[in-house]
Amino acid sequence: MIVSMMMRRMLWLRLLVIVSAVSGIIYDWVMIGNVVGAFWQVLLIAVNVVQIILLWTRDRLLDQGRWESVPEGTRLTEEGERPGFLTYLSEGTARIDTGNTEVARMEPGHFVGEMSLMGDGLASADVTVAEPARVWRIDRDRLERMRTQQPKLFALIEAGIALDLRAKVIATNTRAAAAPA
């Protein structure tokens, strides 16, 4: 248990659990004949192998883009222009303007430029960083290559965008319902 607290990376912790479970299988099944205990150790190994695969997939996806710290006032998209990046806002806030009028504020956890992946590819609004922010960005050209060369990774981005669009529609509907008639 003490060794597990010294692990700085989840991968190493999961590998330690797998090694521990293998020794548990040897003890349970071979030494004392406890098949049920060995079964639970096998399940523990399976769960950790799946989690390692998920960590690897996540890291593979994140390696396609880059993390950046952006100052206040940085323009992420310009209305009517093709964005150079798909951006994920991890920290900070952004202001969304259309026709020089602020229409919304974006909190962390949302994509910027996702609408341009559909239709004509142009941004539907200006998005400007309202306070210093941390973002993950993936180059638009790399995203297009990913669509054809790595469709499974691209599907993960599409799934994230779909969830984000759902959240944005719900937030817009909630604001519209609360607005005076």
Give pLDDT, residue 69. Answer: 95
* 149 and 80 within one domain: yes
Asked if residue 159 belongs to a domain, the reply is yes
Measure the N-to-C terminal CA separation of the chain; round to a whole number of Å: 60
Which parts of 63-150 fold into alpha helices (H)? 140-149
d(CA 43, CA 16): 15
d(CA 130, CA 148): 35
Give pLDDT, residue 4. Answer: 59
Cβ neighbours of residue 4 closer than 8 Å, sequence gap 6 or more: 13, 16, 17
Asked if residue 60 belongs to a domain, the reply is no
* 100 and 27 within one domain: no
* 80 and 120 within one domain: yes
Q: What does the pLDDT look like over 111-128, one tens digit per residue?
A: 998 887 776 688 888 999
* 86 and 25 within one domain: no
Give pLDDT, residue 175. Answer: 83
List the CATH number of the domain containing 101: 2.60.120.10
Asked if residue 21 belongs to a domain, the reply is yes
Asked if residue 56 belongs to a domain, the reply is no
Give pLDDT, residue 93. Answer: 94
* 150 and 80 within one domain: yes
Range of the domain at 34: 2-47
Share above pLDDT 90 across residues of the chain, in percent, rounded to a whole number? 35
Share above pLDDT 70 across residues of the chain, in percent, rounded to a whole number? 94
Q: How many domains does the chain have?
A: 2
Paired tokens of 33: 């004949």
Burial 122-146 (b: 16+ CB within 10 A, else e): ebebbbbbbeebebbbbebeebeeb
Give pLDDT, residue 12. Answer: 83
CA 112 to each of CA 54, 128, 178: distance values in angstroms, whole numbers, following the listed order: 25, 10, 25
* 160 and 74 within one domain: yes
Q: What does the pLDDT look like over 69-91, one tens digit per residue?
A: 999 999 999 998 989 899 999 99
Map residue 10 onto helix, strand or coil: helix
* 79 and 35 within one domain: no
Is the confidence at residue 43, as pLDDT, over 90?
yes
Is the confidence at residue 171, as pLDDT, over 90?
no
Asked if residue 81 belongs to a domain, the reply is yes
Give the pLDDT mean for 151-175: 88
